[in-house]
Amino acid sequence: MGTSSLAGEGKTTTISNIACVMTESNKKVLLIDLDLRKPAIHKQFKISNKKGITDLLLNKDEFKNYTNDVYPGLDVITAGNIPPNPSELLNSNSIKELINELSKSYDYILLDTPPIILVSDPITIASYSDAVVLTIAYSETEKEIAKKSIDSLLRVNANIIGTILNKVPVTKQNKYYYNYY
Ligand SMILES: Nc1ncnc2c1ncn2[C@@H]1O[C@H](COP(=O)(O)OP(=O)(O)OP(=O)(O)O)[C@@H](O)[C@H]1O
Ligand SMILES: [Mg+2]
């Protein structure tokens, strides 16, 4: 799963990019929008959000009726109709069972989530995710806030496999620019 501390740090952008890049090694990737507060994956890929993961859970239907084939090797399931109780749904056995079931058809399942400091959903999702990637926005995310997020994730034994430093300005003065090129 991908998450970050606060709104707008680039969670959706980075997980969408990771999803596209991961298909390059011929892996089958599924990206699911689990930000049931402010879903945005459908906007990122310019697809409909008329039905998504919440509807799939409710209707107990064939998952293939809910996937969008957006890119070779990449399927997307959008958030769908937002239920009145997103936290309950995200903590339900049915979503855990559904993700387990989906994992039989894909090499990787990536989950987009809301910000940690604002809602408990990402901590719930972290408790059943294999790995967590935390996005940190350059000169935006305060150190103390990032530490607080990491503490919350570790409290549920989340496996934090790395962080993404996003929004780094790329200029000719930037040493990363020189190293890279
Ligand atoms: N590396 C980047 N460089 C420039 N702009 C970026 C970068 N990453 C994200 N943005 C922009 O920042 C805004 C927020 O990005 P995004 O929606 O991915 O964040 P988010 O953390 O998912 O937000 P939310 O908390 O609302 O879900 C968008 O307008 C996006 O285009
Ligand atoms: Mg987002």
**What is the extent of the structural domain holding 111?**
2-180
C-alpha 57/C-alpha 61 separation (Å) is 8
The string of pLDDT tens digits covering residues 57-75 is 999 899 999 999 999 999 9
Q: What residues are in contact with ligand 1 under a 6 Å CB criterion? A: 4, 7-13, 35, 38, 40, 115, 166-167
User: What is the count of structural domains for the chain?
Assistant: 1
Which residue lies with its CA nearest to atom 8 of ligand 1?
10
**In testing the pocket of ligand 1, which one of 13, 35, 136 has its CB within 8 Å of the most ligand atoms?**
13
The string of pLDDT tens digits covering residues 38-54 is 999 999 999 999 999 99
pLDDT of amino acid 174? 59
> How far apart, in Å, are the Cα atoms of 83 and each of 55, 63, 64, 88, 157?
9, 19, 21, 9, 28
| Domain CATH number, residue 135 | 3.40.50.300
Global confidence as pTM: 0.94
For ligand 2, a single-atom ion, the residues with CB < 5 A are 11-12, 40
